[in-house]
Amino acid sequence: MPRAFLRNCFLTLTIAAIATAVAGRVSLHGQAGAFRTFLPASILPPIDRGVVADTSHAPDTPQALVREGMRHSTVTLDRVGISGSSYIAGRVIVKFRGGMSTQSRVRAMSTVSPTASLPEQPSYANFDVIRIDPGENAEAVAAALRQRADVEYAQPAYRVRSTFVPNDQYYKELQWNLPLIDLERAWDIQPAAGSNIIVAVLDTGVSYTNTAVRVHANAFRDDQGTLYPSLGDLTLNFVAAPELAPVSRFVSPRDFIWNDNVPLDFDGHGTHVSGTVGQLTNNGLGMAGVAFNVKIMPVKVLDSTWDEIFNAPAFGTDDVVARGIRYAADNGANIINMSLGRTGDPAPVIEDAIKYAVGKGVFIAVAGGNSFEDGNPREVLAEIASRVQGAVSVAAVDPARQHAHYSTTGSYIELSAPGGTDRGFGNNGYVWQQTYDFTLTDTFLLPPSLYGPPRFDVLAYIGYVGTSQATPHVAGVAAMLMQQGIKNPAAVEAALEKFATDLGDKGRDNTFGYGLIEARNTLRGLGLAK
Amino acid sequence: MKTIAACVFAAFAALPVSAQSASVSTSPGDPPGAAFRGFFVVTQQSFAASTTFDAIFGGSSQPFFGGGVQVTTPNGIFVEFGITHFSKTGQRAFVSNGQAFPLGIPLTATITPLELSVGYRFGATRWRLIPYAAGGFGRYDYKEESGFSADDENLNTHHIGYLVNGGVEVRLQKWIGIAADGQYTHVPGILGEGGVSQDAGETDLGGVAFRFKVIVGR
């Protein structure tokens, strides 16, 4: 009898312990439980593959086009609007004027869409994202809402994309981009390199922590219609990029694609951009970064191919980017780097968020766009930045300080920075940083027979090209300038523009803006007469 | 410039004349002719380039210290040669929308005016309180050095400027007097070619100064 009692007690305790462990895991990771599960970290050290030569991470390379096409084919909610911009069907972003009750808002929506429903307002948003039937035309619904006096703005959930272009190593050997903006002498002035400053990187996430995550990889068809089979449930190991470590350097991480606080990078773009902002420097390893002591706030607002294959609950749309901006501003960011953008219709929801953030003292750098050779369309977010004192749009130059062939031009371009080129300079044309070895992550570029799970624990030094790469140079120099004493975002912008090296036509022009940023002169400021 | 030089020449040329008349008009104890006096001066100058000095030093009113000599004549004309010195360390800065943002990089500015003026002392030989007015010119040496600067990024230059002043001298004793005056200087050619002064559109290194002198001599 006592033995049976003891056995029962043991069984009960064992079941209770297992239940507690499971419950603990779910609650620990909050909303992520429905889509992905984090596992106890028992991760091996990262594998460093050194410099990996690659020419695929530049605008308009075949691989870049495949990546972009793949994303569209894996998501069935993608629609193309009248202006050619793609948006996610089934939702409309709307900001009602102040003081409207929920009932009034529902009534207003019902006048323009019979299927409209109003979910709870998302976090870090002063707007609503109403749901409509995916078969309804979101642009038409938004247009009808805009006609109402009680609506401040309404727009579809336009997709936002990274403006980067990645590729391949070592400071003296490969980092032409940092001396080009006179950073070595700037570091003399400020060896602290932004240690009191927080830079929020709104991007695809960052490789910043060691963890393991369980996800489900759905089957999908690429843009040629080729079927890629489901990979089933996968356990993926993530490692913190050693050149961005330690983990304590990362503050207030947030993932608006998976709605949790673990913004893992399933792409590599955000990790690369973070490296340019602040890769560890003078440590005898790898590459250097601009403001190499800043704290980094990883805020994931862009989804990548793998996010979509893993059925992430949100996409990189205007509302998600706007929430990311507000989150960063509310959580202590001094600077926001937005190596992202889109063309097409206006983005009032993002404009509102940018003004909110700048009003809270946050300086924002926005990529100018990579579509010069694709009709040079107006970049919506960059154009917004040009109208806000304290936010800047950034074009790209190559190692010869010439216009980078892809860099969008327009009256909204304010500054230039090294973005690199895949034409004419070999490896010395790229902007290099540590990120994933894409040959092991982008397995969806392989034929279905070779397609397999990605690895996010193998890092390499990869060269990228794009205004995405130019933008973090500006964010980094802005961080150093803020540490030097200029905290006002409008003044940061004014200083960066004043001390820029004038390129192209005299004065501001549509190709280079006020010119190439000049880190040393910007930090040094002015004397009385000299 | 030529006019000022002519005035200075005329003043010196006048010395023998006044010396000749001194014996006629002076009361007992007054110097019979031209007299040489030394003085120490403390100047508080409010710089015309107020935005520039505010940005770098946090204030546009700054002190000079120095001294000089005067030659006085019984007929009231006097010639003064003075040298003063200002040196202060501030911070390089950036100005945006009128607001200065110091950048923590030390900047030392040194200004050394060598000024020559000619003036007139009203009732110089009769009153204990002697009003005076003068005008002249000076050579203004200017040096600016900052941290993290290459040689050609520092500045060591000089320029001619102009001055007028007026005030009152009080004779305390036979050999001691004090004087207080206001002086206006205009010093073009140094500011305005670069730095904060260029941004602010300020080209004058001069300004309005209050000067206090202790004069030793009759």
Tell me if residue B11 falls in helix, strand or coil: helix
> In this structure, are A186 and A255 located in the same domain?
yes
CA distance B37 to chain A (A): 36
Q: pLDDT by residue (tens digit) across A474-503?
A: 999 999 999 998 999 999 999 999 999 999
Amino acid in the structure at residue A137:
N
CA distance A492 to chain B (A): 9
Which has the higher per-residue pLDDT, A28 or A70? Answer: A70
In a domain, A397, yes or no: yes
Number of domains within chain A: 2
CA distance B205 to chain A (A): 10
Contact A530 B195 (CB under 8 A): yes
Question: Is pLDDT above 50 for A72?
Answer: yes
Residue for token pair 């923590």: B104
Rg of chain A over Cα atoms, rounded to whole angstroms, equals 23
Residue B5 pLDDT class (50, 70, 90 cuts): very low
Question: Is pLDDT above 50 for A18?
Answer: no
Question: Is pLDDT above 80 for B10?
Answer: no
pLDDT given for residue A14 in this prediction: 43
CATH number at residue A300: 3.40.50.200
Query: pLDDT exceeding 90 applies to what percent of chain A?
Result: 63
In a domain, A38, yes or no: no
Q: Which chain B residue's Cα is nearest to A526?
A: B195
pLDDT given for residue A70 in this prediction: 61
Number of domains within chain B: 1
Contact A485 B53 (CB under 8 A): no
> In this structure, are A110 and A259 located in the same domain?
no
pLDDT given for residue B26 in this prediction: 39
B120-145: b or e for each residue (b if 16 or more CB lie within 10 Å)?
bbeebbeeeebebebbbbbebbbebb
If you average pLDDT over residues A445-461, what whole number do you get?
94
Residue A53 pLDDT class (50, 70, 90 cuts): low
Specify whether the CB–CB gap between B55 and B95 falls below 8 A: yes
Question: Is pLDDT above 90 for A403?
Answer: yes
Question: Is pLDDT above 70 for A375?
Answer: yes
List, in sequence order, the alpha helices (H) in A288-420.
Answer: 305-309, 318-330, 348-359, 380-387
> Could you say which residues from 129 to 158 on chain B have a Cβ atom under 8 Å away from some Cβ of chain A?
142, 144, 146, 148, 153-155
Q: Which chain B residue's Cα is nearest to A490?
A: B96
Any CB–CB contact under 8 A between B52 and chain A? yes
CA distance B111 to chain A (A): 12
Domain boundary among A141, A158, A175: A158
Q: pLDDT by residue (tens digit) across A279-312?
A: 888 887 888 899 999 999 999 999 999 999 999 9
In a domain, A121, yes or no: yes
Contact A528 B102 (CB under 8 A): no
Q: Spell out which chain A residues touch chain B, with contact meaning CB-CB distance below 8 angstroms.
A: 185, 188-189, 484-486, 488, 490-491, 494-495, 498, 523-530
All residues at 6 or more sequence positions from A58 whose CB lies less than 8 Å from its CB, including other chains: A64, A165, A166, A167, A406, A420, A421, A422, A430, A464, A465, A466
> In this structure, are A492 and A383 located in the same domain?
yes
Contacts of B154 in chain A (CB under 8 A): 530
In a domain, A13, yes or no: no
CA distance A513 to chain B (A): 19
Contact B103 A488 (CB under 8 A): no
Instruction: For residues A258 and A264, give the distance between their C-alpha atoms in angstroms, rounded to a whole number.
Output: 9
pLDDT given for residue A73 in this prediction: 56
Q: Tell me the CA distances in angstroms from A331 to A22, A198, A325, A436, B29, one per residue in order.
A: 31, 10, 10, 28, 82
Lowest mean pLDDT segment, chosen from A21-25, A426-430, B65-69, B189-193: A21-25
> In this structure, are A205 and A339 located in the same domain?
yes
- Number of Cβ pairs < 8 A linking chain A and chain B: 92
pLDDT given for residue B103 in this prediction: 93
Contact B103 A486 (CB under 8 A): yes
Question: Is pLDDT above 50 for B25?
Answer: no
Q: Which chain A residue's Cα is nearest to B104?
A: A484
Tell me if residue A393 falls in helix, strand or coil: strand
Instruction: For residues B140 and B161, give the distance between their C-alpha atoms in angstroms, rounded to a whole number.
Output: 7
Instruction: For residues A57 and A64, give the distance between their C-alpha atoms in angstroms, rounded to a whole number.
Output: 6
CATH number at residue A113: 3.30.70.80
Give the domain range for residue A134: 86-158
pLDDT given for residue A341 in this prediction: 95
Q: pLDDT by residue (tens digit) across A266-281?
A: 999 999 999 999 988 8
CATH number at residue B154: 2.40.160.20
Specify whether the CB–CB gap between A273 and A180 falls below 8 A: no
pLDDT given for residue A69 in this prediction: 64
Helix A269-278 with A467-484: angle, nearest 10 deg: 40
All residues at 6 or more sequence positions from A2 whose CB lies less than 8 Å from its CB, including other chains: none
> In this structure, are A124 and A171 located in the same domain?
no
Using CA atoms of A59, A62, A68, A74 in order, give the dihedral in degrees to the nearest 10: -170
From first CA to last CA, the distance across chain A in angstroms is 96
Question: Is pLDDT above 60 for A342?
Answer: yes
Which has the higher per-residue pLDDT, A493 or B18? Answer: A493
Q: pLDDT by residue (tens digit) across A135-158?
A: 888 999 999 999 999 999 999 998
Instruction: For residues A399 and A402, give the distance between their C-alpha atoms in angstroms, rounded to a whole number.
Output: 7
> In this structure, are A53 and A90 located in the same domain?
no
Residue A84 pLDDT class (50, 70, 90 cuts): low
> In this structure, are A105 and A237 located in the same domain?
no
Q: pLDDT by residue (tens digit) across B78-130?
A: 999 999 999 999 999 998 888 889 999 999 999 999 999 999 999 866 678 99
If you average pLDDT over residues A344-361, what whole number do you get?
97
Whether this model's pTM surpasses 0.90? no
Rg of chain B over Cα atoms, rounded to whole angstroms, equals 20
Contacts of A500 in chain B (CB under 8 A): none
> Could you say which residues from 64 to 103 on chain B have a Cβ atom under 8 Å away from some Cβ of chain A?
92-97, 99, 101-103
